[in-house]
Structure 1
Amino acid sequence: MNKPSSSKASAPGLRRVALASALCCAGLAQAQTGSSVTLYGLADVGITSVSGLKAGTVTQVASGIMEGSRWGIKGTEDLGGGYKAIFMLESRVELDTGANSSTPISGGQLADRYSDAKLLGLPPVFAAPPAPTMQGVLDQLVPKLAGQIYGVNVGAYGNRMFDRQSFVGLITPVGAVLAGRMYTPAFETNAMFDIMETQSGLAAGQLVSFPAILEIRQSNAIAYRIAKDGMAGSLYYALGDRGETANNDSRMIAFNASYKANGFAVGLGYNASKNEAGQDALKSTVLGASMTTGPHKVSGMAIRVTEDNPANMGDIGAAVLGATGSSALAGLIQGAYTEALKQDGRLYHVGYRYTTGPHTVSVAYNTFNDKRPANADVKSYGSAYSYALSKRTDLNAVLVRFDNSDRAQAAPGGNGYLGGVTASAGTDSTGLALGIRHRF
């Protein structure tokens, strides 16, 4: 997990000055060389109501009903001879608060299998009576641990200004080379064959937002991309985020390939990452296919995920040590979470979309088969409707149902936020969201 970066009170002002200077320089470059720079963004906000939470049914304003709100700067320069230089800087923004990070609707609550000492396999008491019960210790630690655990999926990753994307690249006649912070190949394949294109609480990935079965983005990455005659592919290597700890050996190798022709598409994506100790960690394989005929589109996808050595478990141990001062307790709890956060599962998705004029209707069914001892199987189904007021603005409605097995506890969120967890293991949840989206 990334630590929040410190900043002085004048930082926002400095950022505005830096941004204005960048745009000014970009304008001069455009006038002198014919390059182009675009300021763009997406604003998506609405009202969401989610049932089955510890607080009952929670209704609130949320940013990112269909897509995460963002703004960015992108540019290109034609170098001649089939060569172009490109760049992109993209930052998230939460329209409901104006911040650049969010928390799950359920707050800092963890699922029972991560907050119940018995389910975690911890002893009833630490040391010997009359020592505090292990559950009592966990109850005090869970709010702190929730920040550590959810931190990989929530917020702006240490308050980075351009958290969503930040890269520069060179397009050549034989492909493009990019470097920076970018989407991973397996996630791109997932977005291609999810009928919702990762949008809304009906998207397949919403079932498994924690622990996440896909790395969405990676920092310090290099990618080679090519597209020709319906074929497309990428090779991707992330060197690890060494800025946080000196011994961080986290890396990722990944690739994807796809083929499109006559309305048919098929694709494969693969991510393989290592944790900070250099051990094999999260591995995700995505296989998908789709067929489009006139206004109709049908899509199917399967994702296999394994994770034998979860990353950043040392952060949990450090949090326990800081709160209790006991290295033995820190090691015990860190070991329990290391086992609990291992992954082995299969996600399956099938969806259908119909578009006519300004109307778009989508339906989808998703199911996750959890092969861990926890056996936290969960499935979702529902529909989404969009009405295009113009090419840039649309109204959206999403209704989705999450059915949780005995140990599952997922609640629906949206593209820009997590629903979190339901009141208890096995409790189902329904999400209704109404929103407006504008692109600029």
Structure 2
Amino acid sequence: MQKKILALTALASACGAAMAQTSTSTLELYGLVDAGLNYVSGTQGASTRLVSGIMDGSRLGVRGNEDMGGGWRALFVLENRLEVNNGTVGNRPQSGSQLPDRLSAAASLGLPGALQTAVSGVASTIGSQVGVNLRNGFWDRQAYVGLVTPVGGILAGRQYTPAYEVFATFDATKTQSSLSAGQVSAFPPTIDIRVDNALAYRIQLDGLSAAAMMTFDGASPSNANRLKAINAIYKAGGWSVGAGYNTRNNELGESSLKSAVFGATLAAGPGTLSGMVGSVKDDHPTGLSAIPTALIAGGATAGQAAVVQGAFATALKQDSRVYNLGYTLTVGQLTSTVAVSKYDDRTTFDADTTSFGVAWTYALSKRTDVNLVLTRFNNNPLAQAAPGGAGFLGGFTKTAGTDSNNVAVGLRHRF
């Protein structure tokens, strides 16, 4: 089932209502609760856990619209992340602070004593940042206000990025479950999902929707962490096609993560065939500029600090392709999706991961369904990805080259 909470969808609904001159203003409390048992093989620690967000991340939201006439409408969305299993607003992967072996190697350069301890501390810091909403933001999923006009809408706040909206539209599972293409390419992140301080212009014209976005966070230099992004999606009859592009700078203002996504769907027989390809490039990974200062404070020379920083940068650089192909069929109350995804790493590590499997959703009612997911991850000798879910990261297997299986059974309710 397609997600209905993306900013793009919210705007499309608002624009359509504005054009129809609806006179009523609305305020709505909504949400989704998703939890179940999740088994993952090949990882450290317990293999079976009760988790939140197998098919969709659990959330609680408030949204409103005010019709001002003449095709003008004000709207807002505030959406909280909710972890059903423990009542918190963030989570860590099953592998905790563990890093891939290829990244941990950057912290093992044979340096003496206290200096090696300082280097290991850098690795631990990076590992501690692997997770979802670790800053514990209450409105982590979305928080924006917007004005819809007869010529488009302006939205300001925390929003989904244009490239990710295309990814979520054309991924065979709509980013649901461990079967999603996002699961084989989760670390380093191949796409920015949401961003703070974003200003977006969005339009909806018949079957065409499009968006342009830029962030303004007041950082120094002025272009530090800045994201620029665009997308366009066209839907007509039994087919659709779309493309999106994000480009973001790192904290120094250097060009960092670039994500391009192309996708299409086609009604094929009784179901829908979908395909997607993504291109990822990052020559200046974010968050590494403080490494030399920390190491020099620990006794390293400037030359040693530069070597260590370069080792981490090499381990985190990206040059890859992400592929996804799937087929979805609904018969009565049962929806089945089969899909295969591949993360094609084109760096010297060649850390490719391929996933394949099936997800079943059985609707007990319009609001409630039960879900079963079976996914297999095949990791190349230097790859180490483990399956996660729509609401949490899978983290890493015990060692590079270890494959992993996922069996997830859950209950999802919308309100």
TM-score normalised to the size of structure 2? 0.89
Q: Amino acid of the residue matched to residue 232 of structure 1? A: S
Name the structure 1 match of 2:49. Answer: 60
Shift of 1:314: 2.6
Alignment partner of 2:29 out of 39, 43, 52:
39
**CA, structure 1 residues 132+249, in 2 after alignment: closer, same or farther (shift >3 Å)?**
closer
SS in 2 for 1:191: helix
Shift of 1:241: 6.3
1:155 and 2:132 aligned: yes
Name the structure 1 match of 2:109. Answer: 123
Name the structure 1 match of 2:18. Answer: none
How far, CA to CA, are the matches of 1:430 and 1:318 in structure 2?
41
Aligned residues: 392
1:12-161 aligned within 5 A: 34-55=24-45, 58-117=47-106, 123-126=109-112, 131=113, 134=116, 142-148=123-129, 150=130, 154-161=131-138
Shift of 1:139: 5.1
C-alpha deviations, 1:97-151, integer Å up to 9, x for none? 111110001111111001124xx7x63334xxxx4794x7655654333114x2x
Percent of residue pairs identical: 46
SS in 1 for 2:41: strand
**CA, structure 1 residues 161+348, in 2 after alignment: closer, same or farther (shift >3 Å)?**
same
Name the structure 1 match of 2:354. Answer: 379
Name the structure 2 match of 1:292. Answer: 267
**CA, structure 1 residues 140+260, in 2 after alignment: closer, same or farther (shift >3 Å)?**
closer
Name the structure 1 match of 2:279. Answer: 304
Shift of 1:356: 1.3
Displaced runs of 4+ in structure 1, greater than 6 A? 245-248
Name the structure 2 match of 1:234. Answer: 211
How far, CA to CA, are the matches of 1:189 and 1:364 in structure 2?
17
Name the structure 2 match of 1:337. Answer: 312
How far, CA to CA, are the matches of 2:218 and 2:138 in structure 1?
16
**CA, structure 1 residues 317+95, in 2 after alignment: closer, same or farther (shift >3 Å)?**
farther
Q: Amino acid of the residue matched to residue 219 of structure 1? A: D
How far, CA to CA, are the matches of 1:321 and 1:60 in structure 2?
41
How far, CA to CA, are the matches of 2:305 and 2:364 in structure 1?
55
Q: 403-412 or 273-282: which moved more?
A: 273-282
1:204 and 2:194 aligned: no
1:433 and 2:414 aligned: no
Contact 1:90 1:166 in 2 (8 A): yes
Shift of 1:54: 2.7
TM-score normalised to the size of structure 1? 0.84
Q: Amino acid of the residue matched to residue 85 of structure 2? A: D
Q: Which runs of 5+ in 1 are unaligned?
A: 1-32
Shift of 1:34: 4.7
Contact 1:157 1:163 in 2 (8 A): no
How far, CA to CA, are the matches of 1:205 and 1:423 in structure 2?
20
Shift of 1:310: 0.8
Name the structure 2 match of 1:9. Answer: none
Q: Amino acid of the residue matched to residue 45 of structure 1? A: A
Contact 1:194 1:299 in 2 (8 A): yes
How far, CA to CA, are the matches of 2:295 and 2:58 in structure 1?
35
Alignment partner of 1:168 out of 130, 134, 145:
145
Shift of 1:278: 1.0
1:387-426 aligned within 5 A: 387-426=362-401
How far, CA to CA, are the matches of 2:408 and 2:186 in structure 1?
18
Alignment partner of 1:222 out of 192, 196, 199:
199
**CA, structure 1 residues 246+91, in 2 after alignment: closer, same or farther (shift >3 Å)?**
farther
Q: Amino acid of the residue matched to residue 64 of structure 2? A: G
C-alpha deviations, 1:169-188, integer Å up to 9, x for none? 01111111111110000000
Q: 288-297 or 39-48: which moved more?
A: 288-297
SS in 2 for 1:374: coil
Contact 1:115 1:138 in 2 (8 A): no
How far, CA to CA, are the matches of 1:106 and 1:299 in structure 2?
32
Q: Amino acid of the residue matched to residue 126 of structure 2? A: L
